[in-house]
Amino acid sequence: MKRLCPKGVSLVEFLIVLAVLGILLGVGLVSLRAYQQSLVIREAATLVATELQSIRQQARRQSVNFSFQASPSTSSYRVGRTSQLASLPSKSLPSGVVFQSVPSGGTVRFDAPYGIVTSGANSSFVLRGPGNRVLNVHVVGRTGKVVVRAP
C-alpha cells in the first residue's frame, strides 16, 4: 500500500508562522520609532553645533563679531554678525525639537579676530526632542570648542 505524503502547509502551521511574523513586526516597529526619535534630536544637536563652529570660523576669517542667539522653550534661533543679529531672520530646529534651556542671556558671541568666546563660555544649549530625549550642546571655554553630549 502507498502512503500519502501531505503536500503543502497545514492551516495550523500557517497560523503559527503568521503569529511569529506579527510579533517580530511589532517589536521592529517599536524599535524603528525609537530610532527615528533619536535621529531627530541628533540632527538638531548637530545643526546647532555646526552653526556654532561655523560662526567661530567666520569671526576668525572676516574679523567681525558673530553671535548665536536662542530662547528657551522655542524651536527658533538667530545666527550671524552681532551688529545685525536683531534684524536677521530666525532659523528653525527640526520639527518636534525645542531649546529646553539656553545660556544666560541666550547668546553665545565669538569676537574677532581670534574667534574667542566673550559671552556664553562654558555654557550649554539643552535640546529636547520627541520622546523627551535630551542632548546638550556645550561651548567649552573661551576657545569655543563645541561638544555634543547626552546629559
Q: Which residue has the cell 497560523?
A: 15
Residue 118: predicted pLDDT: 85
Residue 139: predicted pLDDT: 94
* Amino acid identity, position 128: R
The whole-model pTM stands at: 0.83
Q: Is omega for the bond preceding 89 within 30 degrees of 0, making it cis?
A: no
- Rg (alpha carbons) of the chain, rounded to whole number: 25
Residue 136: predicted pLDDT: 96
Residue 1: predicted pLDDT: 58
Neighbouring residues of 147: CB distance < 8 A, sequence distance ≥ 6: 49, 137, 138, 140
Q: Domain segments of the chain: what residues?
A: 12-149
Rounded average pLDDT per 10-residue block, the chain, 151 residues: 71 92 90 91 96 94 94 95 94 96 91 87 93 94 91 82
Tally: H helices and E strands in the chain: 1, 9
Specify the CATH superfamily of domain 12-149: minor pseudopilin epsh domain (3.55.40.10)
Q: How many CB atoms lie within 10 A of CB 82?
A: 21
Residue 125: predicted pLDDT: 96
